Structure 1
């Protein structure tokens, strides 16, 4: 029987993979061949990142990276690309307008590349990672904040952006680098020092942008003016307000600080107090089937004695009550009052700070 050389190579590769990571040949074949989504690719066991599928996706990530080190948003990095699509991406690498930290862009790609490099030691992944880190460091404002897009895109994109975890996602990555967390020890000393400086400045602007009402610290807006730090408007339905989702992420970041200053402690406790005082109880969010809509379903808030806690994605700065704003930009008091397209397309109310109040903050408070 003739033995195909490619099959022999593949079998040897699988065997080595299995020996290195202590898994069976069947598991190795699965790891080498299984196709997964971009979201799933970021949450695999450590061993998977040495697989052929993991590296195929990593090579996509390199193709999508622009020459300035950043990435566009809302791209499925796990898609299989044709030769024509790859050529098009190579031709677009010099385009920089549109590289961003919005919707998880750039910092998620970098986290992925770090895992791939740790598993493979392939220099191309390390170099791409370092280029991306340089992009993030360059994009930071002198005051410590990060804009949504870099190079700067005029409009609300210039605001210091906490929305969708943009700035906190960057700071979590840079903190892992600065603290030499496992998987990031390959980063050179110069960049580690710059990363530490960046997160120090980032902390300063986090503390400076925490909104005060009647002299008392509350939480944060989803975006703040880059010059005067005031809560700022973005899209028509994203008005200056107090943001439940984004603020929970900010507090979770602060809770991880080693040896927090008294100012940081005050910031955390003030935010937690606001969350505790403004939680909505006796209600829950449910999805219902509704064939009168194209989507076939709707998202509604119903009364439930066991429901809660809930917080608004947007909350009135003065009252702290959830507000609901559709594309007309008009504030409503109930989710049902805005258009169905926004009800199903945007999460206006959820249990954003439940884990924070129930577990994360109490554990932190025991220490301090």
Structure 2
């Protein structure tokens, strides 16, 4: 009897102690979380959220002054925090971390449009913030969190069952939106744009140097998300069509290099017979690489872009290389699909 009692006391003590274990990063994320449940990428004074900074009085004052209009899924905000809090909970079992993560998940569910898309910000709907946003993987990051919740993967099995059911529905709506927004050229699916009108689901422009276009980097992320899903005829067609587009529109014989000169980034496009790259943006009709400038103009010659934008934005990359050569073949093999 004493042995059983001692074991019970030890178990209870362990549970209490583990609940009190604190993770330094997670503790800061609790402080930064906005009342609506999401997180911002910036504070009210436009300073960037930086979890490396100590929480002194001045910073706490800035955080407190930051309202819900700063809640966003841009630049990995909100998905980054939810993932970190779930990870922290898995190691500490601190209930505050799970509670905060679930509040963040509820925020993602709240911000999703009925058509399945996600705005860049919510509730802030100013300028391009209300557009359905794939840019910088915003919508895919949100859907990946909800997918993990729905499937109980990557330590998300601890999330409340009601949120799991809601997340399953949200993921399906998201997939439907992805399939609807894949750009068609003469009836043939290609890849995706960076952002879309939230009502018509037609491609739209955002900042002056982000014109209506096909976006390669974001489209790779979309394809990877689709490859996680059960294979339906619609999903299979979407993936195959997008990969085909990437194969047809690669740029061979050039590399894109970034170096530092006097502390500033200098980006150069150079001949390299062994390299394959893609432009970040392509014309939505002609598939020609295009480049936007600060004044809103669209250039089709990289060298005509202003120096500030040429060096201040990443215009090329090997975005689809790993996808085409490794991930896509594995997906075909795994699902016993012929190309």
TM-score normalized with structure 1 length: 0.81
Q: Which residue of 2 aligns with 1:283?
A: 254
Q: Please show how residues 1-368 of structure 1 align to structure 2 within 5 Å.
A: 55-73=23-41, 74-89=48-63, 91-92=64-65, 95-258=67-230, 260-288=231-259, 290=261, 295-308=263-276, 310-366=277-333, 367=335, 368=337
CA contact (8 A) 1:300 1:335 kept: no
What is the deviation of 1:228? Answer: 1.1
Deviations along 1:248-303, one digit per CA (max 9) or x if unpaired, are 10001111113x11010000000000000000000011235655xxx445101011
Name which of structure 1's ranges 269-278 and 324-333 shifts more when overlaid on structure 2. 324-333
Cα distance in 2 between the residues matched to 1:263 and 1:60: 42
Deviations along 1:281-338, one digit per CA (max 9) or x if unpaired, are 00011235655xxx44510101111121x11111011221211111122222233221
CA contact (8 A) 1:60 1:78 kept: no
Equivalences, count? 312
RMSD: 1.9
Cα distance in 2 between the residues matched to 1:63 and 1:341: 36
CA contact (8 A) 2:265 2:312 kept: no
Q: Give the strand-richer structure, 1 or 2.
A: 2
SS in 1 for 2:269: strand
Structure 1, unaligned runs of 5 or more: 1-19, 21-49
Deviations along 1:177-210, one digit per CA (max 9) or x if unpaired, are 1001141111111110000000000000000000
CA contact (8 A) 2:38 2:104 kept: yes
Q: 1:141–1:329: structure 2 CA closer, same or farther, 3 Å change rule?
A: same
Cα distance in 2 between the residues matched to 1:168 and 1:282: 31
